Structure 1
Amino acid sequence: MLCILQINACVRLSGDWEVCITKQITTHNHDVDPDVYQTYHESRQVSDDEVVDGVRVLHRGGANRKRILEYIVENSSVQPEMKDVHNLLARLKRESYDFPTMEERINSILRDFTSEKGNLARVYTNQEGAEECISLQSSHMRTMFESFPEVLLIDATHDTNSSNYKLFSFMIHDALGKGQHVQHCLVENERKETLRTACDQFKEGCPSVDSVAVIIIDQDFTELAVLEEQFP
């Protein structure tokens, strides 16, 4: 929906120099009413800081999106939709990760992740306190592995961030033959001890690991001895 603004002008010399408007179109070329206005995303945004603070408190307290939507409607003049509430909560979550150090940001993200029932996150640090392995398993990932544990794929992706961490993804094949992630691990190095930790954390979250019949590995995965030890 686009309104076209048109102004035609010309210069007229009649003793003095003048600019004259010869044609002007400044009207809407579409219907204008409250229903149309409500379709614009900007019209449904919460700009009242007090209401936003209230939403933040409700979200931290575990209120669901329906209750938060009701709170916004009751305490502001906007009429948001459920997707607007989802976007607002996503923005507040991003803002909550604005910490001065990477360690604080990681802590906040992992706390949010594990606040969901069934989600697991583990951090392994070495003697110097450096994080060598961070593993993430959502409740859905664990359920998928319990349903399809027979074929396990371990895929490696390098240079995932500025610290050159490697991403090791554990995957299974579902009933449709599609790959589904069942664990993500960010590892600082590929030493046997680190990879052994990643496998231990996977087995901790997926107790039916003995049902694995086949393991498919990425060509970059070189520590076969670790897999032979972890999945005899």
Structure 2
Amino acid sequence: MTNWYKSWEEFHTSLSKHQNQTHQLFRLRSSTSVSQRNKQEVHVYAWMTSQESGQGPANDFVQQVDTTRGSISRFGTKNVGTHNHSLGRRQFDNHPSNRRIDEPGLVELVRDLSSACSKAKLIMQHLRLKSGQYAQKQSLYVYAPIIAHTQSYLILGKQATLRDVHNLVAKLKAMRNGSASVEERLKARLREFCTQSGNTATVFIDDAKTAQTITLQSQQMRRFFKAFPEVMLVDATHNTNDAMFKLFSFMVHDVYRHGQYVQHSLMENESEECLRDAISAFKEFNPTWEETKVIIIGKDFGELALLEREFSQAKSFVPFSCKKKYLRTEMTKREYGGTNSLNTKRAEDSIDMMLKATTLDEYTIGLKCLFYLLDNVKLRAEDPVPHPKHTFLQYFMRNWGSCRQLWAAFGRAGIPHLGNNRRARDFMGYLKDILKSTMGLDECVDTLIFLQSVLRT
């Protein structure tokens, strides 16, 4: 509903009333010419100079200095007994001095929760509850609203905000880390890890003497790979530390078809140089790498050529589930006409035929069905595949048709591949739930080492 006002005074009165009722502040914008603004600045400058010369209005406070006694006295000449802001329960509860968490028990609680990687919003919710219980237990006379709940009364806790929690967590983290730098803490943690029998850690540096790749492998990881080297899964994830290092991991399947990590690598980026560092460290400490026959990768893996060169005896595949999910999303994009330009369900059936084709002829039949759906071209078995016209067909032939051996079933005929890398992605999701982008690099490494020790036991 639109309201119209007869004057600006009526509008400002209504706006002030609305701000007080909704506890909001609206910024008023107006267009002021340069000449008008310059006049105002000149007026303010003239008022400031008149103050300095003693010709301005009287000060609210007068300060006297006694040079003989070395004392300073100050007394007021004007007193204002009214507040320049609204008063109420909401303003009192949200004042910084009343929101501050300074009770030792609550501070220790925040320290424990932050060390356990709890989310800030959950910490804030817990603090509001615990601070109310703390006030009741200690019989503190705090200003807090009283609410009735199942015929009992509960003192609501301090109204700590999300920014208060972040500030407190950052303060406790700085106290916990001490004066040592991230590099010093990381170096000490890696040395401690390598003191255990069979554990290895490698740090690769660039020309600027900066770490670009860090690899971790425990003794149990090496045992797992030695026992099950035939099929290896490769995947990467991001947002695991504040240094923006990518987590690149190798995984195998044990006798119970459970995924087991065999190496973790933290890389500055997914460049060929960093990947070569991770692979070289893996080869150095795992002499049975030549027994690997199949490597299953994700659809976003960019350095496939490097992987094929380093593991020339193995074949690389893209899992079925990644292919179908990715193409299903790609078909709905506007640049390919959206869902209205093609029959999505029938197109998915044609792609599924190509995925499950055990021979090249079966793959070609599914491809010709896709041509019939999108380009309306009827092709017989002996007809060659024409040049695609539909934008999605052009994308498909350019990006997927050229590497059909990687994802079609006929390309992996007679080779054990254990289906797909869903287990690897499930484990990556498990890691991403624990590793956070706010963690330091040393915290990330320490968490990876701890998680691997838990999986081992």
Alignment partners' CA distance in 1, 2:215 and 2:241: 16
Alignment partners' CA distance in 1, 2:233 and 2:251: 5
Map residues 114-153 of structure 1 onto 2, 5 A cutoff: 114-153=194-233
| Residue deviations 1:196-232 (CA, integer Å, cap 9, x gap) | 1110111111110001011011222110011011100
Structure holding more strand per residue: 1
Which position in structure 2 is the counterpart of 1:26? Answer: none
1:190 alignment partner, one of 270, 294, 318: 270
Alignment partners' CA distance in 2, 1:180 and 1:152: 10
Contact kept, 8 Å, 1:97 with 1:108, in 2: the verdict is: no
Alignment partners' CA distance in 2, 1:221 and 1:148: 23
Which position in structure 1 is the counterpart of 2:298? Answer: 218
Contact kept, 8 Å, 1:98 with 1:105, in 2: the verdict is: no
Q: Secondary structure at the match of 1:133?
A: strand
- After TM superposition, the score normalised by the length of structure 2 is 0.29
Residues 119 and 98 of structure 1, relative CA distance in 2, 3 Å threshold: farther
Matched to 1:115, the amino acid is: T
Residues 212 and 99 of structure 1, relative CA distance in 2, 3 Å threshold: farther
Alignment partners' CA distance in 1, 2:262 and 2:176: 27
Give how far 1:99 is off.
Answer: 5.2
Map residues 72-221 of structure 1 onto 2, 5 A cutoff: 98=178, 100-221=180-301
Alignment partners' CA distance in 1, 2:256 and 2:217: 22
Identity of aligned residues (%): 47
Please say which of residues 216-225 and 113-122 is displaced more in the overlay.
216-225
Structure holding more helix per residue: 2
Which position in structure 1 is the counterpart of 2:311? Answer: 231
Residues 98 and 231 of structure 1, relative CA distance in 2, 3 Å threshold: farther
Aligned CA RMSD, in angstroms, stands at 1.6
Alignment partners' CA distance in 2, 1:170 and 1:195: 12
**Can you give the 5+ residue segments of structure 2 that lack an aligned partner in the other structure?**
1-174, 313-457
Residues 115 and 98 of structure 1, relative CA distance in 2, 3 Å threshold: farther
Q: Secondary structure at the match of 1:132?
A: strand
Matched to 2:192, the amino acid is: D
Which position in structure 2 is the counterpart of 1:46? Answer: none
Alignment partners' CA distance in 1, 2:182 and 2:244: 14
Contact kept, 8 Å, 1:152 with 1:215, in 2: the verdict is: yes
Q: Secondary structure at the match of 1:180?
A: strand
Give how far 1:98 is off.
Answer: 4.9
Q: Secondary structure at the match of 2:207?
A: coil
Which position in structure 2 is the counterpart of 1:89? Answer: none
Alignment partners' CA distance in 2, 1:123 and 1:182: 17
Alignment partners' CA distance in 1, 2:253 and 2:204: 28
- After TM superposition, the score normalised by the length of structure 1 is 0.57
Q: Which of 1 and 2 has greater Rg? A: 2
Contact kept, 8 Å, 1:156 with 1:220, in 2: the verdict is: no
**Can you give the 5+ residue segments of structure 1 that lack an aligned partner in the other structure?**
1-94
Number of paired residues? 138
